[in-house]
């Protein structure tokens, strides 16, 4: 092949590479705009009054004043925090111990039980809400934070246990065997070796469950109906009945509700990505 022909072929390859990269970046730019535009819309209109919203210009703090006047925002944020933290703590306690048992310990029917846990991930939440409500009502847990905590823990434990199991299985067995030979029991191996090594997976579960529980509305509407215990998402759902079509008020409430989940994701995104890739890579 002549030098001219080789040069033309390299030029074609370079052109195809540039076109493919350009299309990828274009697609990413479109996706970014689509994903970020709702936040832009929410942030801009949260600082407008109703008249300014319909006029399409101007800024005001009237919607924030109306929000704190209509809802006990501080108490509802506290309720959301207590419920979310409690559910995450219970999910982590179940998933870390369960994942350790499935990955390290040997006992009869362990594979069958693990398959049942995986199958529980496939059950739609809507199909078990009614039985959950009846069970909690019989126990007197309706309109109590710990009732919602139990529901969220039951919903989040199967996936979290699966993730912790896959993460623990990628840890070399030689590490565990060496610890056992040195005299550590399975309990001390779990606390002194396995948990420190599983910090990325634990952070991943905490972040995913924080976003899931904090942003959830259905469980709160069904199990937390009184103003004293309802989370911020349920409080925001009551705004349309008080202020019909007050879009800036809704945007202000949505912004204050969405910010914690966004901040948690941005702070821990590095651990989230590493935990997911390391946990599922094996």
- Give the start-to-end residue ranges of the domains of the chain: 3-45, 71-280
Structurally, what CATH architecture does the domain formed by 71-280 represent? Orthogonal Bundle (1.10)
Q: How far apart are CA 179 and CA 169, in angstroms?
A: 16
3-state secondary structure (DSSP) of residue 216: coil
Model-level pTM? 0.85
Is residue 25's pLDDT more than 70?
yes
Q: Which of 228, 238, 233 is nearest to 214 (CA)?
A: 233
Is residue 14's pLDDT more than 60?
yes
User: Which tens digits make up the pLDDT trace of 171-211?
Assistant: 888 888 888 888 888 888 999 899 998 888 899 999 999 99
pLDDT at position 278: 60
Q: How far apart are CA 254 and CA 192, in angstroms?
A: 42
Q: How far apart are CA 137 and CA 130, in angstroms?
A: 11
Q: Which of 271, 256, 247 is nearest to 55 (CA)?
A: 247
User: Which tens digits make up the pLDDT trace of 111-150?
Assistant: 888 888 888 888 888 888 888 889 999 988 899 999 999 9
Q: What is the mean pLDDT of the chain?
A: 86
């Amino acid at each position: 092949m002549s030098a001219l022909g080789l040069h033309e072929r390299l030029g074609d390859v370079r052109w195809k590479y540039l076109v493919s990269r350009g299309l990828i970046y274009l697609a990413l730019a479109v996706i970014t705009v689509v994903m970020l535009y709702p936040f832009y819309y929410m942030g801009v209109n949260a600082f407008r009054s109703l008249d300014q919203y319909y006029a399409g210009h101007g800024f005001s703090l009237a919607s924030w004043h109306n929000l704190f006047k209509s809802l006990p925002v501080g108490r509802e944020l506290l309720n959301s925090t207590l419920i979310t933290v409690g559910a995450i703590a219970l999910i982590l306690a179940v998933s870390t111990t369960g994942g350790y048992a499935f990955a390290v310990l040997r006992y009869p029917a362990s594979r069958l039980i693990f398959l049942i846990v995986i199958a529980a991930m496939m059950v739609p939440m809507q199909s078990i809400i009614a039985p959950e409500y009846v069970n909690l009502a019989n126990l007197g847990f309706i309109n109590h934070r710990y009732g919602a905590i139990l529901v969220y823990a039951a919903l989040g434990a199967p996936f979290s246990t699966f993730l912790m199991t896959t993460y623990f299985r990628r840890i070399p067995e030689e590490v565990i065997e060496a610890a056992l030979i040195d005299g550590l029991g399975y309990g001390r191996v779990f606390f002194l070796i396995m948990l420190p090594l599983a910090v990325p997976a634990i952070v991943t579960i905490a972040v995913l469950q924080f976003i899931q529980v904090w942003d959830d509305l259905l469980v709160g509407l069904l199990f937390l109906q009184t103003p004293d215990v309802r989370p911020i998402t349920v409080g925001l759902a009551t705004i349309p009945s008080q202020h019909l079509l007050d879009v800036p008020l809704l945007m202000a409430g949505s912004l204050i509700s969405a910010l914690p989940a966004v901040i948690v994701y941005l702070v821990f995104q590095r651990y989230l990505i590493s935990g997911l890739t390391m946990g599922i890579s094996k």
